[in-house]
Amino acid sequence: MRYRWLGVIACAVAVTSVPARGAIVFEKIADTGTAIPGGSGNFNLLDDAVSSGRNVAFYGQGTVAQQGLYMWKGGALSRIVDRTTPLPGGAGKFSNMGALSIDGSNLAFYNSGNLTSGQFLIGIYKNVGAGVVKVSETPDGGFSSPVISKGAVYVFFDGAGVGNESILTDSGGTVHALVSDGAPVPSGTGTFDSLNSNVAAANGGVAFYGSSGVQRGIYLYRNGQASRIADLHTAVPGTAGNFGSFSNISLGYDGTDVAFAAEDAAGGVGLYRTRGGALVNIATSNTLVAGYGKVNFSDENNIRMAIDGNRTVFSGDSKAIFIASELSVQKLIGAGDLLLGKTVRSISFVGSEGFGGGDEVAFGASFTDGTSGVFLATVPLPVGAYVGLFMGVGIVYQSRRRFCTSGFCGNLTAGN
């Protein structure tokens, strides 16, 4: 594993409050007392909740052998796939599923496991209304978490050998590369030597992390070409310094704007996005949130974010989820809060797949009584918040490591 450390400094000042427009409504989607659809018994673990409007999908399990992906739509819960579901082609069954993506009723996800022949296979699959189909499979390599948008899947692929890192899509019906290592770095010099990145995609575009060895940054591929969002030559909003590093673990993209986490040379961590053609600071570790205190980002690679229009939903750890709208930042839910009569111990927010296509935010919560579940918050924005002025400089590190989630392991580099 390799790391490149740089840094960032930041400060935030609470200025004034914004009146609330409607109350936040929380709904339980499923919890550890919910019967498993298409299975037996109740869930004992639920995770990775994603949403598109009021449609919610998540990973759930009961016994060790009973694991699957499930969807809540129109108030009804149904099974997408579980360990009894045959793989497309019938050479085995789904076994280690996760990394869900949702767009409307369309779904994409990851799976790994052994075929009936004994061969190990990693794959990306989707269901766009006609059953589960294969997007791409490999016995030697890895994928990032996939993203589905308008029926097309976008994913990073790291194949065996040198020169096989690519951002793939099946848009148009055939899997093909949009950007690969060796491509010229936009608004820079040299070529990409690494694209190790989770991606965010919408409306035919895809945001990703890339590195040329001496240059690192966040880029957007759209309309046949890649462009730079920010790199080591980009000034951190509100400061005189440049970015020092960027995280490739979580990105946000709504078809117009891109969000990312970064650090500056002083080691300060921040969340940034484009808005109206400009790069703006959403929050730093020192950002003050009414009724909560400082955001206190511990690591840029722990930040998860999603954007939709001017709204940004984010979490920096398992303690709280926040919502930013223009210059307003408010806590949505966090540890110690009451949620439907129970005290929250911790929360989970997957990032770009947890918010989009409406006013709904999907998240997971565990409680002090030992139970847990997945929930949907309807947030009629703007909501009550404190307007803050954020100033910061940022840093990011890059490390080469394996990235795993819900049974998924691929070669993903934490970018900086």
For the cut 50, the answer to whether the pLDDT of residue 351 exceeds it is yes
CA pseudo-torsion sign 51, 275, 319, 352: positive
pLDDT tens readout for residues 36-80: 998 889 999 999 999 999 999 999 999 878 899 999 999 999 999
Q: C-alpha angle 159/165/52, rounded to 5°?
A: 100
Contact between residue 328 and residue 334 where contact means Cβ atoms under 8 Å apart: no
Tokens representing residue 72 in the block: 């809540």
Closest CA to 207 of 230, 232, 175, 240: 230
Q: Provide the residue type at 17 as one letter.
A: S
Question: Cα dihedral sign for 75, 76, 80, 84?
Answer: positive
The pTM assigned to this predicted structure is 0.86
pLDDT at 14: 32
Give the three-state DSSP class for 235: strand
**How many residues in the chain?**
416
**Helices vs strands, H then E, count in the chain:** 0, 38
Give the confidence band of 188 by pLDDT, cuts at 50, 70, 90: confident
Confidence grade of residue 415 (pLDDT, cut at 50, 70, 90):
low
132-170 pLDDT tens trace? 999 999 988 899 999 999 999 999 999 765 568 999 999
Sequence-ordered strand ranges (E) for 65-105: 67-73, 76-82, 96-103
Contact 313, 322 (CB under 8 A): yes
**What b/e sequence results for 76-93 when a residue is b if at least 16 CB atoms lie within 10 Å of its CB, and e otherwise?**
ebebbbbbebebeeeebb
Give me the domain span that covers residue 65: 3-414
**Domain CATH code at residue 341:** 2.130.10.150
Give the residue from 13, 20, 30 showing the smallest Cα distance to 68.
Answer: 30
Q: Residue 144, SS3?
A: coil
Q: What is the DSSP string of 52-75?
A: ETTEEEEEEESSTT-EEEEEEETT
- What does the pLDDT read at residue 117? 85
pLDDT tens, residue by residue, 93-138: 999 999 999 999 999 999 998 888 888 999 999 999 889 999 999 9
Structural domain count of the chain: 1
The per-residue pLDDT for 240 is 76
**Nearest of 108, 86, 110 to residue 97 by alpha carbon:** 110
Indicate if the pLDDT at residue 409 is higher than 70.
Answer: no
What single DSSP character describes residue 255? S
Helix/strand/coil for 302: helix
Answer for the pair 230, 245: CB distance below 8 angstroms, yes or no.
no
- Model pLDDT, residue 381: 59
